[in-house]
Amino acid sequence: MTTLDTNAHSMNTHEHAQVSSQSVLNAAQFVQAVPGALRKLDPRALWQTPVMLVVEIGAVATTVMSILDASVMGWLVTFWLWLTVLFGTLAESVAEGRGKAQAASLRALQEETTARRRASDGTVEVVSSAALRAGDVVLVTAGERIPGDGDVIEGVASVDESAVTGESAPVIRESGGDRSAVTGGTTVLSDEIAVRITSEPGHSFVDRMIALVEGSERQKTPNEIALNVLLASLTAIFLVVCGTLYYQADYSHAHQSWIVLTALMVCLIPTTIGALLSAIGIAGMDRLVRRNVLAMSGRAVEAAGDVDVLLLDKTGTITYGNRRATEVVPVPGVTQSDVETYAKLSSLADETPEGRSIVELISADVAAPAGTVLVEFSAMTRMSGLDAPGLQVRKGAGSAVTAWVAENGGTVPDATDDIVLGISSAGGTPLVVAVQEAGSAARVLGVIHLKDVVKEGIRERFDELRAMGIRTVMITGDNAVTAKAIAAEAGVDDFLAEATPEDKLALIREQQRGGRMVAMCGDGTNDAPALAQADVGVAMNTGTTAAKEAGNMVDLDSDPTKLIDIVEIGKQLLITRGALTTFSIANDIAKYFAILPAMFVASFPQLKVLNIMHLATPQSAIVSAVVFNALIIVALIPLALKGVRYRPSSADALLKRNLLIYGVGGLIAPFLGIKLLDLGIHLIPGL
């Protein structure tokens, strides 16, 4: 067998380089986004954004009015209202465009290849990869491309997944354990594996990635929907206000044209946030993708911004997950060769990496007796072994095997506990080996030492999480002593040992009942229920298909500390949305005071005191406000896409700071902007 390369799982930093090169927004991106923006002007697409739909209807109305009754002012307002809608769709289109290049390179992975499909009778036929269905078994040898998503059911191989993950170091994929999932389009570098296909055509992992980076599957989150309803209500109110203003103005002999009132209405409704809302959401998902995290829903990204507790599986998440047998220790009275024989016997059927490592460690030839029934490992029993006529062998977690020995009339010698304790306190996983032969009570033979290594640099990252106010809890099926040793080494706040899949699920529910937002990182099939229940379920890409399907995010780098980035991006998304909503509404209030006095000052000279801006003429005031209202959308697109900067600090301090910058800033900006625009605009002939 090949030597397993643990470096392949070491934390990598390549994605950070990627981020900085891609986050620069350039003019070309805007230009490329124009066709998409024009398509989005279709009212059937625009109704998703009620505020912008109202602007579009307003633009249609002023177009008609200007045709019927041409005036410079009418055409200027019309032109800028159309630009306002276009800038809104442009924001979304630019946000989407950033995933398009990535989607194109992913599509290259979907090229049809040939596959060697193995029928149930063992015959192998060559078929097209497009003909593969879930359940098919294919053979893939060094140098070949894996034709579809699946689980390795035989063998172990090193695989180049760089096309999907961007990480050039090969990874190990093997049957039985928590590193069995392979992705279609990746390449086998050494050895041969048999893969059971798990996805139907069109529903592969890469298909999902493409849909995700293109934003085509994006659905509004409940928060976005709530905000949209609020914006639509504000819009409705201003529609009524401006509509009735026409008659009130007439009644007071201060007639205002419908063009002026439409312009006023557009200035007052929350167009800025209405235009940028969807771009902010898309940008959040995009930022995650560039960190090599695939979020299956926007809701998960938002939830990440509010996480209080992070639960992590131990093996494969906190440790490299390359748990291997290093020694077998006999209890007093048992020979080394005896304990080794039974340890190997108990592992003949054990297809987990742990089981195979035991078979490899022990050189003695051992064969299963005739009539053997193999007992596979399960996370529930935490044991594996075999049953033969007159012979039962088990190995597994200390508590599980102790219970089994007692059930079968035996007692466990004190020395066992000492050996188990010794291995556990060093952070190793002890597997107790026991046997029951016909006519005698079960007895313990010795203990297998499984070694695993804590991932490098994980401690510092957990410290960071603590600084962000997030509690880390390790949950493991392993015994309490091992758990404690690894917990101390990794620096988690707390741990839960001897946890079954149900225990993991129960712990999450309990935390959620306490009002906490729970994130969970895991890789195993036994983590799947917990990953599904967690508010943010991050599956390691190295993990099983079940885990990857249960979670709402997949980390392509299989780095649990990535949660720090995920939380930051989630917080940044929430803060950006909050900041731009504040700015937008403050802006609209300011515009009200900027325009209204100018509109009515001719009829009501008393308004002069309010007319602090001294805009040149009422017409120029209206046009300047409309132009400002449109330009502010374009001006804020980069901020919406990049996100407001997030620094770890208390929620209170953040709120105060943002209210000050975006609230007060939003109030002042229109006065300055409109005044400046008015200086030029009032010179336009005919206005």
Ligand X SMILES: Nc1ncnc2c1ncn2[C@@H]1O[C@H](COP(=O)(O)OP(=O)(O)OP(=O)(O)O)[C@@H](O)[C@H]1O
The residue (of 506 and 616) whose beta carbon lies closer to ligand X is: 506
The residue (of 199 and 352) whose beta carbon lies closer to ligand X is: 352
d(CA 116, CA 119): 10
Among 208, 291, 299, 395, binds ligand X (CB under 6 A): 395
Binding mask 643-672 for Mg ion (x = CB under 5 A): ------------------------------
User: Does residue 384 belong to the site contacting ligand X (CB under 6 A)?
Assistant: yes
**Binding partner selected for residue 271 from Mg ion, K ion, ligand X, none, CB under the kind-specific 5 to 8 Å limit:** K ion
The residue (of 245 and 295) whose beta carbon lies closer to K ion is: 245
Structure token pair of residue 612? 């602090």
User: Does residue 402 belong to the site contacting ligand X (CB under 6 A)?
Assistant: no
User: Does residue 322 belong to the site contacting Mg ion (CB under 5 A)?
Assistant: no
d(CA 332, CA 330): 6
Among 526, 552, 582, 587, binds ligand X (CB under 6 A): 526
d(CA 9, CA 353): 16
d(CA 141, CA 159): 10
Touching Mg ion, residues 281-320 (CB under 5 A):
313, 315
The residue (of 317 and 552) whose beta carbon lies closer to ligand X is: 317
Nearest by Cα to 540 from 215, 180, 28, 264: 180
**Binding partner selected for residue 662 from K ion, ligand X, Mg ion, none, CB under the kind-specific 5 to 8 Å limit:** none
Q: To the nearest whole angstrom, how small is the minimum distance from the Cβ of residue 74 to K ion? A: 20
- How many C-alpha atoms does 29 have within 13 Å on its Cβ side? 19
Residue located via tokens 């219970």: 403
Residue located via tokens 């190990």: 172
Distances (CA, A) of 512 to 104, 339, 570, 591: 40, 46, 19, 44
Among 382, 461, 577, 591, binds ligand X (CB under 6 A): 382
d(CA 606, CA 601): 7
Tell me the torsion sign for CA atoms 621, 622, 623, 629. Answer: positive
**180 annotated to bind ligand:** no
Give CA torsion, residues 329, 335, 336, 342, to 10 deg.
-90
β-pair partners for 451: 324
- Which stretches of 515-664 are DSSP H helices? 528-533, 545-550, 563-600, 618-642, 651-658
The residue (of 293 and 312) whose beta carbon lies closer to Mg ion is: 312
Nearest by Cα to 91 from 280, 259, 287: 280
Binding mask 405-444 for ligand X (x = CB under 6 A): ------------------------x-x-------------
**Of 136, 151, 178, 313, catalytic:** 313
Q: To the nearest whole angstrom, how small is the minimum distance from the Cβ of residue 309 to K ion? A: 40
d(CA 244, CA 248): 6
User: Does residue 397 belong to the site contacting ligand X (CB under 6 A)?
Assistant: yes
User: Does residue 584 belong to the site contacting ligand X (CB under 6 A)?
Assistant: no
d(CA 377, CA 397): 11
Q: Looking at 124-132, 349-357, 411-419, 640-648, which segment touches ligand X (CB under 6 A)?
A: 349-357
Q: How many residues does the chain have?
A: 687
Among 49, 221, 235, 271, binds K ion (CB under 5 A): 271
Structure token pair of residue 513? 């009942």
- Asked if 153 and 144 touch (Cβ cutoff 8 Å), the reply is no
The residue (of 427 and 643) whose beta carbon lies closer to ligand X is: 427
Among 15, 161, 354, 565, binds ligand X (CB under 6 A): 354
| Residues near K ion (CB under 5 A), total | 3
Q: To the nearest whole angstrom, how small is the minimum distance from the Cβ of residue 591 to K ion? A: 7
The DSSP letter of residue 90 is H
**Binding partner selected for residue 383 from K ion, Mg ion, ligand X, none, CB under the kind-specific 5 to 8 Å limit:** ligand X
Backbone angles phi, psi at 308, to 5 degrees: -105, -35
List, as one string, the DSSP characters of 167-229. Answer: --S-EEEESSSS--EE-TT-EE-SSEEEEEE---TT-SHHHHHHHHHHTTT----HHHHHHHH
Touching ligand X, residues 473-502 (CB under 6 A):
476-478, 499
The residue (of 127 and 589) whose beta carbon lies closer to K ion is: 589
The residue (of 49 and 317) whose beta carbon lies closer to Mg ion is: 317
Cα–Cα–Cα angle for 177, 180, 182, rounded to 5 degrees: 170
Annotation marks residue 313 as catalytic: yes
Touching K ion, residues 594-653 (CB under 5 A):
629
| 568: Cβ contacts below 8 Å, ≥ 6 apart | 646
d(CA 82, CA 404): 77
d(CA 510, CA 105): 43
Q: Looking at 18-26, 430-438, 543-551, 581-589, which segment touches K ion (CB under 5 A)?
A: 581-589
- Asked if 171 and 542 touch (Cβ cutoff 8 Å), the reply is yes
Among 524, 570, 618, 673, binds Mg ion (CB under 5 A): 524
Q: To the nearest whole angstrom, how small is the minimum distance from the Cβ of residue 471 to ligand X? A: 18
**523 annotated to bind ligand:** yes
Q: Which residue's CB atom is positioned nearest to K ion?
A: 271
Distances (CA, A) of 363 to 349, 357, 358: 17, 11, 10
User: Does residue 542 belong to the site contacting ligand X (CB under 6 A)?
Assistant: no
Q: To the nearest whole angstrom, how small is the minimum distance from the Cβ of residue 512 to ligand X? A: 20
User: Does residue 377 belong to the site contacting ligand X (CB under 6 A)?
Assistant: yes
The residue (of 170 and 529) whose beta carbon lies closer to ligand X is: 529
Tell me the torsion sign for CA atoms 288, 290, 292, 294. Answer: positive
| Residues near ligand X (CB under 6 A), total | 24
**Binding partner selected for residue 394 from ligand X, K ion, Mg ion, none, CB under the kind-specific 5 to 8 Å limit:** none
* Site residues, ligand X (CB under 6 A): 313-316, 350, 352, 354-355, 377, 379, 382-384, 395-397, 429, 431, 476-478, 499, 524, 526
Active site residues: 313
Q: What is the contact surface with Mg ion in residues (CB under 5 A)?
A: 313, 315, 524
Mark the binding-site residues for Mg(2+), compressed into ranges. 523, 527
* Chain positions contacting K ion, by CB under 5 A: 271, 588, 629
